[in-house]
Amino acid sequence: MATTTAENGVAAGRRISLGRARWLWVALVVLALLPIVGGKTGLISDYGFLQLSLMIVYAIAVLGLILLTGFNGQISLGHGAFFAVGAYTSAVLIDQMNWPSLATLPVAAIVCFLVGYLFGLPALRLEGHYLALATFALAVAVPQILKYRHFEWFTHGVQGINIFKPDPPFGLPLSGDQWMYLVVLAVAVVMFWIARNLLDSRTGRAMTAIRDHTLAASTMGVNVAHYKTVVFGISALYTGVAGALHAIIFEFVAPDSFRFELSIAILVGAVVGGIASLPGAVIGGVFVQVIEKYADALTKKITAAVNLPLDLEPWTIYGIALIVLMYTMPMGIAGGLALLWRRLKGS
């Protein structure tokens, strides 16, 4: 009796995951068809596709941080710095050496992995909030370094670098923004797939073991130093690729794009989405783009609609949304939804 229930449970679980996989595929196909359906009918403008692409880009960046913080227990307040390094690697290669845009992605990935790995070495000695401060310093320093007078010949200082995004190949009947949306989507799918497999592997188990109990993990023979630095590198790689994609679709990089607010935004995205969850990264990416960009406009509209006598600051809605979310869904939106789903199932 007991065994059959268990077996049923397993089967049900498998069915659910199969069902989930099917839904994932459906969602991906719908997303991939958007340029044809939404673009051709004029439902979604090129600017709309840019917005969608940016959401996906931020999802990749948030995923990088989730791997580090959510699955390895290392806190970073400076992922905007890796985002910037990726973006500038791409932009400088395109601008100075006329590289094709997409060929710069692997280079940005490698550069960011190395930077992250090297930064991870000394950072190993720092735990918890000390590491948070060290990474924060990095985030504050990077925009200034990009403006540094002797780097200006390739960074163009505060003026930033203008690049043009690639045209769709083979004469595909797509606009540049629609094509790049597909590219970004494909890159994201691959990156998420790799992340899922990584977490499912020995390495993934070692990562979470270090997060849960570092001492116990090292007793079990996990090389803590090695894993921590490599995870730092991988995390930087993810965020760096997101940065490179951002540079290409946005066609512009400037030190101002990568102020420390960006690092905070990525962290907030990770926490709001769900710090130890892959779907959480997607939700976090959407949150970063939507709330950041529209909180201002929304605040204005609400002020006008309700005829509020006071002048609300543009960030009011953002703050309120954050507080409400943290109180109602401490595990992030992904965690909250999972809990809700279980409750509904249970009742």
Partner 1 sequence: MTQTTRRMLLAGVGALALALAASPASAQKKYDEGATDTEIKIGNTNPYSGNLSAYGTIGKAIDAYFKMVNEQGGINGRKINFTSYDDGYSPPKTVEMVRKLVEEDKVLFVFQTLGTPPNTAIQKYLNAKKVPQLFVATGASKWGHYKDNPWTMGFQTDYVTESIIYAKHILANVKDPKIGVLMQNDDYGKDYYNGFKTGLGKDADKLIVQLSTYEPTDPTVDSQMIQLKNSGANVFFNITTPKFAAQAIRKAAEIGWKPAHYINNVSTSVATVMKPAGFENGQGILMAQYLKDPTDPQYHKDKDFLEWKAFMQKYYPNGNLTDGSNGYAYAVSNLLHVVLKQCGDDLTRANVMKQAANIKGVQLPMVIDGIKANTSPTDFYPLQSLKMHRFKGESWEPFGEVISGEATN
List residues near partner 1 by CB under 8 A.
45-48, 50, 144, 147, 157-160, 162, 164, 250-254, 256-257, 259, 293, 296, 314
Closest to partner 1 by CB, 239 or 257: 257
Residue 257 C-beta: closest distance to partner 1, Å: 4
Residue 155 C-beta: closest distance to partner 1, Å: 13
Residue 160 C-beta: closest distance to partner 1, Å: 6
Residue 162 C-beta: closest distance to partner 1, Å: 5
Residue 250 C-beta: closest distance to partner 1, Å: 7
Three-class SS state of 75: coil
Closest to partner 1 by CB, 136 or 232: 136
Q: Which residues of 291-322 are buried (b: 16+ CB within 10 A; e: fewer)?
A: bbeebbebbeeebeeeeeeeeeeeebbbeeeb
- What sign results for the dihedral spanned by CA atoms 281, 182, 51, 162? positive
Residue 164 C-beta: closest distance to partner 1, Å: 8
Residue 91 C-beta: closest distance to partner 1, Å: 12
Q: Which tokens is 147 given?
A: 């403006």
How far CA 32 is from CA of 38, 178, 187, 258, in Å, comes to 11, 10, 12, 29
Residue 52 C-beta: closest distance to partner 1, Å: 13
Rg for the chain (alpha carbons), in Å?
21
* CA 267/CA 231 separation, integer angstroms: 17
**DSSP category for residue 125:** T
How far CA 100 is from CA of 80, 91, 95, in Å, comes to 25, 10, 10
Question: Which residues contact residue 119 at a Cβ distance below 8 angstroms, ignoring those fewer than 6 apart?
Answer: 135, 138, 232, 236
Contact predicate 266/61, CB 8 Å = yes
Closest to partner 1 by CB, 17 or 162: 162
Provide the 10 A C-beta neighbour count for residue 278: 20
How far CA 37 is from CA of 50, 53, 178, in Å, comes to 16, 16, 11
Closest to partner 1 by CB, 127 or 256: 256
Closest to partner 1 by CB, 17 or 159: 159
* CA 167/CA 170 separation, integer angstroms: 9
HSE toward the beta carbon, residue 260, CA cutoff 13 A:
14
Closest to partner 1 by CB, 161 or 195: 161
Closest to partner 1 by CB, 71 or 250: 250
CB < 8 Å & 24+ apart, contacts of 15-24: none
162 forms beta bridges with 252
Closest to partner 1 by CB, 119 or 318: 318
Closest to partner 1 by CB, 162 or 223: 162
Residue 281 C-beta: closest distance to partner 1, Å: 22
